[in-house]
Copies of this chain bind each other. A is one copy, B any other.
Amino acid sequence: GDLLKLSRWSPPRFLVTGFALIILLGGLLLSLPFATSEGTGLRYLDAVFTATSATCVTGLVVVDTGRFYSVQGQIIIMLLIQVGGIGFMTMATLIALVLKKRISLRERIILQEAMNQHDMEGIVRLIRRVFLYSVTIEAAAAVLFTLRWAADMPLGKAAYFGVFHAISFFNNAGFDLFGEYRSLTPYVDDPLVNIVSMALIILGGIGFVVMAELLDYRKKRRLSLHTKVVLSVTATLIVLGAAVIFILEYTNTLAPLTWRGKILASLFQSVTPRTAGANTVDIGALRQATQFFIILLMFIGAGPGSTAGGIKVTTLATLVAGVHTMIRGKEDIVIYEHRLAKDRILKALTITMLAIGVVIIVTMIVSTTDQDKPFIRILFETVSAFGTVGISTGITPHLSDIARIMLALTMFTGRLGPLTLAYALGGQTEKQLFRHPEGKLIIG
């Protein structure tokens, strides 16, 4: 807890700096010879790219995780995922709890920022529960994976793969050890691998607050507006997404599969853009219409206070509700019979505009430095980085250094949120001392 007390910075600045330090340290470790299977070491730039991808739970890679890194390197990646995923602020609190130190107000505010919670009450309790819940789910999934993969490989390796992928998928980190950038494609119609992976991804993506509320549901028998919105938008996106992917890919990547395979693959590719980063069909082989559709899903992301990047499902819901209000000529923005405070629409707008801005600037730069790559693939990798999703059309390992740096910065921005970053970098809030007269402006 001392580290926290030392800081006089604003919570956003603290978060940004903390993440950056973990990434630079992780990059240093991953660049050393012991972390690589051939003992050759790795360029610091590429090692930092990997560390950023792991810490920001993305999954974009410039080297083959399964083949290039030694077991030690892979464990470092796994730890960076767990630290970046459950969140380094959460970790700091847990340490403080273990050491029985009191959680100060300042620390609570930082946590509030990290978990994107409205009120500070119960944050500490929430963190304890989320930690237990996460470990339980990861352990259960690791056991199921181990049992399945023991059929394909030695038990020891199966157990290692089980733990690594349970952690990677629950944190929606997208890293895998199968080699040759295959991700889960060998298991495209395997029900157990598909269902366990999708369950991990969805549970990890709905966000800690929703997780905690679902754990309480049997007692309380009611869900908050927030949880209702996250669950309903997530469910809608998964079902709608699977239907669109099924239709667009029926005669393409789904063609060689059985009906079960077709349905599982449509569902999996609809679930993964939420923020996961694993894939069961070759993303680079998808039609460009499908790739564009997945770009949209990745841009939205999952729930706030989760491991997701993107603008988040609640932001989407607010925007859609706002448009509906305007078209219907109503006053209040209403979701599930609750009206939203006036400033909510401005926050949703700001996050979306900043997100669009980041994607545009990065896409422009990478389109310039890597002119030989098709535009749709550059846009795909950029949004995959911003949404901390991690699925790839296959161009990331072949990008220029400038493009690698841009994607690393994009993952970082996506993980922390562009608004948090804006507050951290520029954000002196100004007091408004007087009101200007109202002006008329014709819009649209």
Q: What is A's interface to B at a CB cutoff of 8 Å?
A: 116-118, 207, 209, 224-226, 229, 248, 287-289, 291-293, 296, 304-305, 311-312, 314-315, 317-320, 322-323, 325-342, 344-351, 353-354, 360, 363-364, 367-368, 371, 374-376, 417, 419, 422-423, 426-430, 432, 435-444
Contact = CB atoms under 8 A, between A and B. Distances in A.
A350 B444 CA distance: 10
Given A322-B346, A344-B443, 17 more contacts: A118-B442, A226-B440, A229-B441, A288-B367, A289-B364, A322-B349, A323-B353, A328-B428, A329-B429, A332-B435, A335-B441, A338-B437, A339-B435, A339-B437, A348-B443, A375-B376, A419-B444
A287 to B, nearest CB: 6
A367 B288 CA distance: 7
B226 A368 contact: no
Query: Which one of A116, A224, A329, A417 has the greatest number of beta carbons of chain B within 10 Å?
Result: A329
28 contacts: A117-B442, A118-B440, A118-B442, A226-B442, A288-B371, A291-B375, A312-B444, A317-B441, A323-B353, A323-B354, A326-B349, A327-B422, A328-B427, A328-B430, A330-B429, A330-B430, A331-B432, A335-B439, A337-B437, A338-B438, A338-B441, A339-B437, A339-B438, A342-B342, A344-B441, A344-B443, A375-B375, A417-B444
Contact of A209 (B315, B345, B442): B442
A439 B339 contact: yes
Nearest to A339: B436
A437 to B, nearest CB: 6
Contacts of A344: 441, 443
A364 B293 contact: yes
